Amino acid sequence: MKKVLVACGNGIATSTVVAIKIREICEEQGVQVMVSQCKLLEVESKVSDYDLLVTTGKFDSSDIDIKVIGAISLLTGVGEEETLDEIVKVLK
């Protein structure tokens, strides 16, 4: 099972929307996934246990050893399909 950490400014509203979309696309594609949410400020203390980091805000990923995907498109709808495809590709 792959583990995804979704981070947004406060770790509640936008990360919930993104987490739901990730769960749905992974289920459709047959990818077993566990999705957790946090604040952007908490990422560095939590990310080491995850396979993928998905963010809805600006984040300096230079200290992170896993793939980081910006997912503002999952909130705006512009480029959403491409972002979801990239997430699934990383997790497969």
Domains of the chain: 2-91 (3.40.50.2300)
Active site residue 8: yes
Q: Which of 4, 6, 8, 71 is catalytic?
A: 8
Q: Report which of 41, 51, 48 is spatially closest to residue 7, judged by C-alpha positions.
A: 41
According to the model, what pLDDT value does residue 45 have? 93
According to the model, what pLDDT value does residue 62 have? 79
Which residue blocks in the chain are alpha helix, DSSP H?
Answer: 13-29, 43-46, 73-76, 80-91
pTM: 0.94
Residue with tokens 């979801």: 84
Please list the pLDDT of the chain residue by residue as tens digits (92 residues): 999 999 998 878 899 999 999 999 999 999 999 999 999 999 999 999 999 999 998 888 778 899 999 999 999 999 999 999 999 999 99
Q: How far apart are CA 64 and CA 44, in angstroms?
A: 8
Contact 75/17 with Cβ under 8 angstroms?
Answer: yes
N-to-C CA span, the chain: 10
According to the model, what pLDDT value does residue 87 have? 98
User: Token digits for 19?
Assistant: 């987490």
Contact 54/7 with Cβ under 8 angstroms?
Answer: yes
